[in-house]
Amino acid sequence: MTALLETRNITQRFSGLVANSDVSISVGRGEIVGLIGPNGAGKSTLFNLIAGVFRPTEGSIWFDGEDVTALPAAERCQRGVGRTFQVVKSFETMSVIDNVIVGALVRTTVMREARRKAYEVLEFAGLAARAHVLASDLVPAEKRRLEVARALATQPKLLLLDEVLTGLTPTEAQTGVELVRRVRDTGITVLMVEHVMEIVMPLVDRAIVLDLGKVLVQGKPADVVRDPKVITAYLGDRHAVGA
Amino acid sequence: MDKDFASRRRRELIVAAVLALLAALAPLFVKDVYVQNIMVLTLMYAALSQSWNILSGYCGQISLGHALYFGLGAYTTALMFMKFGILPWFGMLSGGVLSALIAMALGYPCFRLRGHYFVIATIVIAEIALLLFQNWDWAGAALGIDIPIRRDSWLTFQFTRSKLPYFYFALVLAAIAWFVTWWLEDSKWGYWWRAVKDNPEAAESLGVVVFNSKMGAAAVSAFLTAIGGSFYAQFVSYIDPESVMGFQFSLLMALPAVLGGIGTLWGPLLGAVILIPLTELTRSYIGGSGRGVDLIVYGSLIVAISLARPQGLVSLFSRAKKVPAR
């Protein structure tokens, strides 16, 4: 079976700055894949390219067996790519349920159906009690979950999570980890960008490490964390010597 | 599951129906023609502001050029009747469709602009249209058009003896504009517009095609505004460019919504009920020597509202909804 998502030789330049160079990764159906790397490694750029925020300078992106390189973000969502934002972008002037309804409307134009789906997703994400609160009144951890709920309401095949676990308290992060697992168990493939290694590594099936815009290492989390190249990238040469 | 929501929607409909009924009975008690005139204008501006609110309030694309669609509606109706003898009802519809098409043609380049630049573009375009009409001989140029007076009839939509037919038409218009808004509020479009206004980038990521959403809002908004313009042409039976396409109309459509509550269902109506009688009264009482005093009153009100209640007057009625401290 073909991979759900594949990037082929992606290169992205921003007026001279090369953010991604020749990145080829693939994500299989039903996997949880972690995309990690030090600051400035090009994770966010790759992420935005997959979500369709902008088009790569070179290379192509394949989703579900089709070339989606030229498709704008909205259309990729319609095809089944859901995403969250690193800096949360809730609809602050709308209630929590209305936020999620916007997502649900991609799959149906019947309001009753969209509302039902939205409640279902809120229940799943543990936000049902907050359905009628304004999104601006949520605490940060809840806003993260709202981002996930909104994306889930679009009924994606692939869910892109951009640092949803970063900056949370350990308990909140644990709830988040469980949520991601449950998402995967419903058959949705997950690609997540994360900083916090300890949380991500036990969660993901496979990790892809980016450094300086290139794929440094990819493989099983246990192997990746022990790879000298990864340690060098994160901590510098001095620490790698002893490894 | 969401009974609250359904019952709120039903309550809104009932309140609107009761208000419309009360308004319909008002002429039984109000015989004064001057007051009737104010009532007609109030309802008309309520309808116009409600239309403006769709594009600018819900979808967040602030237009200060809606006088263009108002004028197009007025001119289309008047010209078709005068030049070709086509009944105003068809003129009204044509004006609406024409305005919707022009709104989309203008939206195509303008919706790429954001914030203040979009507002400026709307002002400039309406002013250009005003200049064109002032110099367009076939359409009467700056002198305007006297709509030929026929017998009083619903067919030609002319009534010289009584204001009441106009009153009832304006009432129906306001009711339609309100109902369209009410209906759109709980539809895909309503949600898309609010999402676009709130955060376009997030909206895109959820499958909302931002550009199309804006185009849809512009078309509906322009169509309804033009119907209001057609009505106005029939009501005053004489139009010239300045009196139907002047900048003040763009303001008069925006202000009631801003006063009452921008992007809310009841805001435009509430704003119009307060603002329009106030304008008419200050204008006639202070009148001649005090030209512009009505505008001063206006200005002060808007300043007061934006300082004390930036969400508009309707927020006074909503059950103590928490306002995010900013």
ipTM: 0.90
Helices (H), ranges, chain B: 3-29, 33-53, 67-84, 88-110, 115-134, 164-185, 188-198, 200-205, 210-236, 241-245, 247-260, 267-286, 293-308
DSSP letter at B153 equals B
Q: What's the total number of domains in chain A? A: 2
Handedness of CA A219, A223, A224, A229 (dihedral sign): negative
| Statement to judge: residues A95 and A135 lie in one domain | yes
| Statement to judge: residues A93 and A196 lie in one domain | no
Residue A238's pLDDT band, with cuts at 50, 70 and 90, is low
Give the residue on A whose Cα is nearest the Cα of B184: A111
**Which residue, A104, A128, A155, sits at the end of a domain?**
A155
Give the residue on B whose Cα is nearest the Cα of A150: B206
Residue among B209, B196, B207 at smallest CA distance from A80: B207
Handedness of CA A220, A226, A229, A231 (dihedral sign): positive
Domains annotated for chain B, with CATH where assigned, are 3-316 (1.10.3470)
Cα(B99)–Cα(B70) distance, integer angstroms: 9
A103 touching B (Cβ < 8 Å): yes
Amino acid letter, B205: S
Count of CA atoms in the C-beta half-sphere (13 A) of B266: 17
| Statement to judge: residues A56 and A12 lie in one domain | yes
Residue stretches of chain B with pLDDT short of 70: 1, 286-292, 318-326
**Which residue, A114, A139, A155, sits at the end of a domain?**
A155
- pLDDT recorded at residue B326: 36
The predicted-structure confidence for B76-124, as pLDDT tens digits, reads as follows: 999 988 888 888 888 899 999 999 999 999 999 999 888 889 999 999 9
Domain with A128 in it = 89-155
| Statement to judge: residues A164 and A113 lie in one domain | no
Residue A240's pLDDT band, with cuts at 50, 70 and 90, is low
| Statement to judge: residues A188 and A232 lie in one domain | yes
DSSP letter at B291 equals T
Cα(B176)–Cα(B83) distance, integer angstroms: 29
- pLDDT recorded at residue B281: 82
Burial of B250 (0-12, 13-18, 19+ CB in 10 A): buried
SS3 B147: coil
**Which residue, A129, A155, A181, sits at the end of a domain?**
A155
pLDDT over 90 (residue A169): no
In the predicted model, what is the mean pLDDT of chain A?
A: 90
Residue among B100, B102, B107 at smallest CA distance from B222: B100
Residue among B46, B16, B62, B69 at smallest CA distance from B220: B69
| CB atoms B207 and A74 under 8 Å | yes
| Statement to judge: residues A102 and A212 lie in one domain | no
| Statement to judge: residues A122 and A218 lie in one domain | no
Q: What is the DSSP annotation of B28-51?
A: HH---HHHHHHHHHHHHHHHHHHH
SS3 B97: helix
Cα(B324)–Cα(B326) distance, integer angstroms: 6
Amino acid letter, B275: L
| CB atoms B205 and A51 under 8 Å | yes
| Statement to judge: residues A127 and A223 lie in one domain | no
- pLDDT recorded at residue A92: 94
Interface of B with A (CB under 8 A): 1-2, 4-5, 186-188, 191-192, 194-195, 197-199, 201-210, 321-322, 324
Across A217-221, average pLDDT:
87
| Statement to judge: residues A61 and A41 lie in one domain | yes
Give the residue on B whose Cα is nearest the Cα of A85: B202
| Statement to judge: residues A61 and A131 lie in one domain | no
Token pair for residue B28?
């039984």
| Statement to judge: residues A168 and A237 lie in one domain | yes
Distance from CA of A214 to the nearest CA of B (A): 26
For residue B207, the chain A residues in CB contact (below 8 A) are 74-75, 77-78, 103, 105-106, 154
The domain spanning residue A173 has which CATH number?
Answer: 3.40.50.300
| Statement to judge: residues A184 and A137 lie in one domain | no
DSSP letter at A36 equals E
- pLDDT recorded at residue B266: 94
Report the run of H or E that residue A51 belongs to, with start and end: helix A43-51
Which residues pair with residue A218 across a beta bridge? A208
The dihedral over CA atoms of A132, A136, A137, A141, expressed in degrees to the nearest 10, equals 100
The predicted-structure confidence for A70-115, as pLDDT tens digits, reads as follows: 999 999 999 999 999 988 999 999 999 999 999 999 999 999 999 9
